[in-house]
Amino acid sequence: MLLRSVLRVHCHTNRLYPQFRSNSRAFSSRYGRRTSYKRTQVLYPAGVAASLTAAGVLAVKSEPKSSSNSSSKEGGGEVGGVTGGLTAGEWKDGLPLYSFDEVKKHDSSENGVWVIYNKGVYDITGFISKHPGGELLLVGAGRAIDPYWKIYSVHHSPETHALLESMRIGNYDTSSTPEEEKGEDDGELDNQWSNEPQSRHPALLCNQEKPFNAEPPPAILTGDFHTPNDLFYVRNHLPVPPRVDPKEYRLEIAKETGIGEGVEPIELSLEEIKAFPVTSISAVVQCGGNRRHSMASYKPVRGLSWKGGAIGNARWTGVRLCDVLKHVGVSGGNYGGIKHVQFEGLDADAMGSCYSASIPIETAMDPNRDVLLVFQMNGEDIPIDHGYPLRVIVPGAVGARSVKWVSRIVLSTEESPSIWQRRDYKLFPSNVDINNVDYESSEAMQDMPVQSAICLPIPGSTVDISSGFVTLRGYAWSGGGRSISRVDVSINGGKDWSVAKLHSNESQKPNRVWAWSLWEATVPVSACTGQLDIVCKAMDSSCNTQPENVESIWNFRGLANNAWHRVSVKTANNI
C-alpha cells in the first residue's frame, strides 16, 4: 500500500483486527453517521463533587449530544483568526473545468499533484513539503481528498479551507467521476467510529468529535490529587480501536536488521507482561497543546482549542519498560547500536496506518525515568479511551510519547517515522509558520516545561469578597522529574505577589517527581475592588520559571504554552 511505503510504518493492527485491512474501494467510500455519546450520571468523592458544583457542570442533563451543538466543535483545526463562512470546493464561475481523467494524470511529484475537493480542483504540488503529513498527501494525488478529510476532520476550519482555496486552479466535472470512485457505502469506513465508548462523562468539553478529543473544565481538576478516570482528558489522534480480548493480546518487540546483537524478537501475552515486577507511580500526562486557547489570543495558531484541562494526574500501574527490554537482550554501553525505541498503537486510520511515536533508548533503559507499560489507571483496568489493555507512560514527557493501545515496540537507529514524531509536536520560533517551516530543523518534543494554571475562580465569574479574602486554587507541574518549588499568585495583574500553599499527596524521590502539585492561596482583597486580574506563575527545582507573556514563546502550532496564566473575575459583597 502506498501510504505504508510513504510512512515506513509496519503497523501490525491488521494482525489483531482484520477489519482494518483496507483497499482502494474503501479509500473512496463515503462516510456516514455522526457518533452520539450517551451522557450518564456519575457519583464522585466530596472533593470532586464540590469542584463539579462550583464549575456548574453537575446539572448537565443526561441526553445525546445534538449535532447542532457539536458542529461548532467538530473541526478545531485552527484557533483564532478567520471567522468567516468560507467553504472550499464550491463552484466558481470563470474557472477551467477539469474531468476526473485530466486530474488523475497529475498523481505524482514528477507530474504535479492535483486533488479534487467537492467541486474544486487544486494544484498542491508546492504545498506537500509544508504539510505536516508531507508525502502522505501523495496517497490522494489525482483523486478526491473528501474521504481523507472525513477521517481527519481537523481540516474543517475556515483557515484550512482558505489555504486550500489559495491553490484552486479550476472546477471539477462531477459527471466524469467513475463508478468505482463514487464511494458506495460498503460499511468498512463507516465502522471506523463504531468502537467509540458509548458513555462519556457529561462534564467533558468536546473540542472535536471525530476523532474524539475532550477536556474537563479546569475547575474540576483541583478536586482530587488523582484525576478520576472518566474526568481525565481524552486525546485521540485516530479512531478508538476495537476492544481487544486480553487473552488474545500480544505485544510484539522487534528490531532493525544489523543492530542489537543478542536481542531476540519476541511476542508477549498480557499475562507474560504482568509476570515482570509490577510497580506503580503517580504521574501527570499533559497534551502538548494544553492552554493553546490562550496562546491564540495573541496570534492565530493551528490545533485543537485546549483551554487548560488537557492535563491529568493518575496512579499508573504496570511494569518497567527497561525490565522488558533487558529480558529480550538489550544491554551494553551503546545498547548494540539501538538509539530509539518506537511504539506503535492499535489505533489506525482507514488505510491501516497506526499512531506511532518514539523516545531515546537512554530514556527507555534508565530505571530512574520510570517508563512503564501500564495496564491499570487509578487501580482499575485502563479505560478504552486511555489505552486498554496496555499503554506506554513516559512520565515527564509530552503526552504524545505515551502511546495508547500499544501493540508493537521497534528497536531502531531512528526516531519513529510517523508524522507525530517527524512533523508534529515540534517547537519553532515565532517567525516560522506553515508557509516557511522546515520540519527537520527542530527536534521532537520530549520533556515538558514548567507549567501552572488557575482552576478556581472560573474566568468571568463573580466572587464574594465580603470576608475580605479571595481563595485561589490551581495546579502546577514540571517535566523531566523536576518538582515544583514555589507558586506565586497575584490578584492585581502581577503588581503584588503572594506565595501559594502546595499540596502533594505523595512523597516522590528527587528528580523523579512525576505528579503535579495542587496549590491554594487565600489572598486579602480590598472591599472597593470591582475586578480581580488574577495571575499565577511557578518555579521548579531547577529554577525554571514561566515566561510572563505568550509573545516570546508563540509558535504556529500553539504548543507548550506555559506563559503566566491569567484569569479576570468580578467582585461583589454578600452574594
Catalytic residue set: 131, 155, 235, 287, 425
169: which 3 cell numbers?
A: 486552479
CA distance 318 to 279: 6
On whether the CB atoms of residues 535 and 494 are closer than 8 A, the answer is yes
- Is 294 exposed, middle or buried, given 0-12, 13-18 or 19+ CB atoms closer than 10 A? buried
Those residues whose C-beta lies under 8 Å from the C-beta of residue 487, and which sit 6 or more positions away, are: 452, 474, 476, 499, 500, 502, 517, 519, 521, 536, 537, 538, 539
SS (H, E, C) 480-515: CCCCEEEEEEECECCCCCEECEEECCCCCCCCCCCC
Helices vs strands, H then E, count in the chain? 13, 31
- For residue 16, the surrounding DSSP H or E stretch is helix 13-16
382: which 3 cell numbers?
A: 485502563
CA distance 420 to 401: 9
- For residue 101, the surrounding DSSP H or E stretch is helix 100-104
Three-state DSSP class for 19?
A: helix
One-letter amino acid of 101: D
Strands (DSSP E) contained in 158-270 are 168-172, 199-200, 205-208, 213-215, 234-235, 250-255, 266-269
Task: Give the dihedral sign, CA 84/88/90/92.
Answer: positive
On whether the CB atoms of residues 389 and 271 are closer than 8 A, the answer is no
